Chains A and B, each alone.
Chain A
Amino acid sequence: MDHFPTNWGRPRNDAIDAYGTYPIHSRPKNDQDAFSAGVQRTQQPIVTGTSVLAIKYKDGIMMAADNLASYGSLARFKDVRRLHPVGDHTVIGAGGDMSDFQYLQTILDELTISEFTAQDGHSLGPAEIHEYLAQVMYARRSKMNPLWNSILVGGVKDGKKFLSYVDLLGTTYSASTLATGYGGHIAQPLLREAVEGREDTLTEEQALAIIENSMRVLFYRDARSLNKYQVATITAAGVSISESKHLETSWSFAEGIRGYGAQTQ
Chain B
Amino acid sequence: MFRNTYDSDNTVFSPQGRLHQVEYALEAVKQGSAAIGLRSKTHAVLLALKRSTGELASYQQKMFRIDDHVGIAIAGLTSDARVLSNFMRQQAMSSKMVFNRPIPVNRLVSSIADKAQVNTQEYGRRPYGVGFLVIGQDNSGPHLYEFSPSGNSYEYYAMSIGARSQSAKTYLEKHYEKFADCSFEDLVRHGLHALRETLQQDKELNVNNTSIGIIGPKSEHEKSETPGGAFRILENEAVEPFLQTMRSKEELKEEERQALDASKAEEATGTAAPAADDDVQMSG
Q: Do A and B bind each other?
A: yes
- Check B107 against A120 for contact (C-beta < 8 Å): yes
Residues of B close to A22: CB separation below 8 A: none
- Decide if B104 is an interface residue (CB 8 Å cutoff): yes
Min Cβ gap B173→A in Å is 27
- Decide if A135 is an interface residue (CB 8 Å cutoff): yes
- Check B99 against A128 for contact (C-beta < 8 Å): yes
Task: Say which residue of A118, A121, A132 sits within 8 Å of B98 (CB atoms).
Answer: A132
Question: In the complex, what distance in Å separates the CA atom of A128 from the CA atom of B97?
Answer: 10
- Given A121-B140, A122-B138, decide whether A131 and B107 contact each other with a Cβ distance below 8 A: no
Residues of B close to A121: CB separation below 8 A: 140
- Size category of the binding interface on chain A: 10 to 19
- Check A120 against B101 for contact (C-beta < 8 Å): no
Min Cβ gap A137→B in Å is 13
Min Cβ gap B251→A in Å is 41
Residues of A close to B104: CB separation below 8 A: 120, 122
- Decide if A124 is an interface residue (CB 8 Å cutoff): yes
- Check A128 against B101 for contact (C-beta < 8 Å): yes
Which residue of B is nearest A127, CB measured?
Answer: B100
**A194-234 at interface with B (beta carbon < 8 Å):** none
How many residues of B are in contact with the other chain, CB < 8 A?
11
- Given A120-B106, A120-B107, decide whether A128 and B140 contact each other with a Cβ distance below 8 A: no
How many residue-residue contacts, CB under 8 A, span A and B? 24
- Check B99 against A132 for contact (C-beta < 8 Å): yes
**A86-132 at interface with B (beta carbon < 8 Å):** 118, 120-122, 124, 127-128, 131-132
Min Cβ gap A93→B in Å is 20
- Check B140 against A124 for contact (C-beta < 8 Å): no
- Check B98 against A131 for contact (C-beta < 8 Å): yes
Residues of A close to B140: CB separation below 8 A: 121
Residues of B close to A120: CB separation below 8 A: 104, 106-107
Which residue of B is nearest A120, CB measured?
Answer: B106
Which residue of A is nearest B95, CB measured?
Answer: A128
- Check A131 against B100 for contact (C-beta < 8 Å): yes
Which residue of B is nearest A136, CB measured?
Answer: B98
Residues of A close to B139: CB separation below 8 A: 122, 158
Max chain A Cβ within 10 angstroms of own Cβ: one of B97, B101, B106, B107: B101
Question: In the complex, what distance in Å separates the CA atom of A91 from the CA atom of B63?
Answer: 42
Min Cβ gap A122→B in Å is 5
Contact with A along B89-104 (1 / 0, CB 8 A): 0000000011111001
Min Cβ gap A131→B in Å is 4
Min Cβ gap B103→A in Å is 10
- Check B97 against A135 for contact (C-beta < 8 Å): yes
Question: In the complex, what distance in Å separates the CA atom of A122 from the CA atom of B95?
Answer: 13
Which residue of A is nearest B106, CB measured?
Answer: A120
Question: In the complex, what distance in Å separates the CA atom of A86 from the CA atom of B107?
Answer: 21
Which residue of B is nearest A128, CB measured?
Answer: B99
Residues of B close to A132: CB separation below 8 A: 98-99
Contact with A along B123-144 (1 / 0, CB 8 A): 0000000000000001110000
- Check B98 against A135 for contact (C-beta < 8 Å): yes
- Given A118-B107, A120-B106, A120-B107, decide whether A128 and B138 contact each other with a Cβ distance below 8 A: no
Residues of A close to B106: CB separation below 8 A: 120
Task: Say which residue of A118, A124, A158 sits within 8 Å of B99 (CB atoms).
Answer: A124
Min Cβ gap A123→B in Å is 10
- Check A128 against B100 for contact (C-beta < 8 Å): yes
Residues of A close to B99: CB separation below 8 A: 124, 128, 131-132
For the A-B complex with A124-B99, A128-B100 known, give 12 more contacts whose Cβ atoms are closer than 8 Å: A120-B106, A121-B140, A122-B104, A122-B107, A122-B138, A127-B100, A127-B101, A128-B101, A131-B100, A131-B101, A135-B98, A158-B139
**Chain A to chain B: the 3 pairs with minimum beta-carbon distance, closest first:** A131-B100, A128-B99, A122-B104
Give B residues with C-beta under 8 Å from A: 97-101, 104, 106-107, 138-140
- 16 A-B pairs with C-beta separation under 8 A: A120-B106, A120-B107, A121-B140, A122-B104, A122-B139, A124-B99, A127-B100, A127-B101, A128-B99, A128-B101, A131-B99, A131-B100, A131-B101, A132-B98, A132-B99, A158-B139
